[in-house]
């Protein structure tokens, strides 16, 4: 079967590899049909590392897949061949302290698609445990199913921020996760949502998805404008979803006294610089978003009910053979005007 292997920064190759086989009773063989490209995938492609997770051997990256069930292990009861499924990319142990405390996203033994050494999803077939496969209803396309990981991250981030009805919220960064975060915050009752994003196509999408005030940070001072529009109060919750050096501090500056900053973005140099006195004097709560936990069923319900349209953000579709072209586009500063890029396997 074909798979895309990342050998080193900027060097991703589509090659033939051995097909996986169902080996355990609870495993399912899935034909992968769509995989979204995440910002973290772009980090691996451009830099070969995220923090202390370093590319050493050829790696299949990608962790936002959906596909069709091909074969079942003998104990699998909830699925059948032909079912379309969204695939949770995180395999947690279920036994360590974080897992037992209800935080599987913090599992000490986690294996996550496309994080060394765990192989990811840019391949034609994969084998995965039954409990991490979520059947898609007719209302959700398979491509839409591949977007549910993005919405899962957003749901988790909004829950970390404890957004309540009437809250004012800022989102710094209008990539797919930032856009989904703004949308989930709106569904959670936020009364006004500010979103800052330099790419025009993403700003237009932000308006469609529920952002009330959309800011071009290349033409306006994001912090000053939002502070002016809130009469100097600031926002209840600020979400960082850009991963740029200055945007973490912007979230601190934007929060009201006693507010909450939620950091979702991944800085390219693995460093966050904050003015401690501002955060301290405001008495801020700072939360670090680590992927997601137990959210696929809720994301599916939101999509099936029409509250969200997970396909709406998909702006570009590339075949697996052109995956290098897709990554080169996303590596550029303007992202080629892309919102969400999907690989069709």
Residue among 255, 254, 261, 235 nearest 166 (CA): 235
From residue 280, give the alpha-carbon distance in Å to each of 239, 241, 248, 250, 286: 18, 22, 15, 15, 10
> Quick count: other Cβ atoms within 10 Å of Cβ 60?
20
Residue among 231, 228, 237, 240 nearest 267 (CA): 240
Q: What is the pLDDT of residue 236?
A: 99
Q: What is the pLDDT of residue 269?
A: 81
- Residue 289 per-residue DSSP state: -
> pLDDT 10s digit of each residue in the chain, 345 long?
999 999 999 999 999 999 999 999 999 999 999 999 998 999 999 989 888 888 889 999 999 999 999 999 999 999 999 999 999 999 999 999 999 999 999 999 999 999 999 999 999 999 999 999 999 999 999 999 999 999 999 999 999 999 999 999 999 999 999 999 999 999 999 999 999 999 999 999 999 999 999 999 999 999 999 999 999 999 999 999 998 989 999 999 999 999 999 999 988 788 898 999 999 999 999 999 999 998 999 999 999 999 999 999 999 999 999 999 999 999 877 888 899 999 999
Q: What is the pLDDT of residue 337?
A: 87
Domains in the chain, please, with CATH? Answer: 2-147+310-344 (3.90.180.10), 154-288 (3.40.50.720)
Output the six-digit token pair for 177: 């996760």
> Quick count: other Cβ atoms within 10 Å of Cβ 1?
15
Q: What is the pLDDT of residue 294?
A: 87
Q: What is the pLDDT of residue 213?
A: 98
Residue among 12, 88, 3, 66 nearest 44 (CA): 12
Q: What is the pLDDT of residue 334?
A: 81
Output the six-digit token pair for 272: 């966050």
Q: What is the pLDDT of residue 16?
A: 97
SS3 content of the chain, % helix, strand, coil (to 5): 30, 30, 40
Give the span between the Cα atoms of 225 and 256, in whole angstroms. Answer: 14
């Amino acid at each position: 079967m074909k798979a895309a292997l990342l050998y080193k920064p900027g060097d991703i190759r589509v090659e033939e590899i051995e097909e996986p086989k169902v080996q355990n009773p609870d495993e399912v063989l899935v034909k992968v049909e769509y995989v979204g490209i995440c910002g973290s995938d772009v980090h691996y492609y451009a830099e070969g590392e995220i923090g202390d997770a370093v590319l050493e051997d050829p790696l299949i990256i990608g962790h936002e897949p959906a596909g069709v069930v091909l074969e079942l292990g003998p104990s699998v009861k909830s699925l059948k061949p032909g079912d379309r499924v969204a695939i949770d990319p995180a395999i947690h142990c279920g036994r360590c302290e974080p897992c037992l405390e209800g935080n599987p996203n913090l599992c000490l033994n986690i294996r996550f698609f496309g994080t060394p050494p765990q192989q990811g999803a840019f391949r034609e077939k994969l084998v995965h445990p039954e409990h991490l496969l979520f059947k898609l209803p007719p209302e959700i396309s398979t491509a839409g199913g591949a977007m549910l990981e993005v919405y899962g991250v957003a749901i988790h981030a909004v829950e970390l921020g404890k957004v309540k009805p009437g809250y004012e919220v800022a989102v710094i960064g209008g990539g797919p996760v930032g856009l989904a975060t703004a949308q989930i915050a709106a569904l959670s009752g936020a009364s006004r949502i500010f979103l800052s994003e330099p790419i025009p196509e993403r700003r237009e999408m932000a308006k469609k998805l529920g952002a009330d005030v959309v800011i071009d940070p290349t033409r306006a001072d994001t912090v000053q404008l939002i502070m002016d529009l809130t009469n100097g109060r600031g926002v209840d919750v600020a979400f960082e979803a850009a991963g740029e050096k200055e945007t973490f501090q912007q979230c601190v500056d934007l929060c009201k006294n006693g507010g909450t900053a939620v950091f979702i973005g991944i800085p390219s140099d693995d460093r966050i610089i904050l003015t401690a006195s501002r955060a301290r004097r405001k008495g801020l709560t700072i939360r670090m978003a680590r992927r997601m936990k137990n959210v696929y069923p809720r994301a599916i319900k939101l999509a099936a009910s029409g509250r969200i349209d997970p396909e709406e953000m998909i702006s570009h579709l590339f075949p697996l053979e052109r995956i290098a072209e897709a990554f080169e586009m996303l590596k550029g500063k303007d992202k080629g005007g892309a919102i969400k890029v999907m690989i069709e396997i």
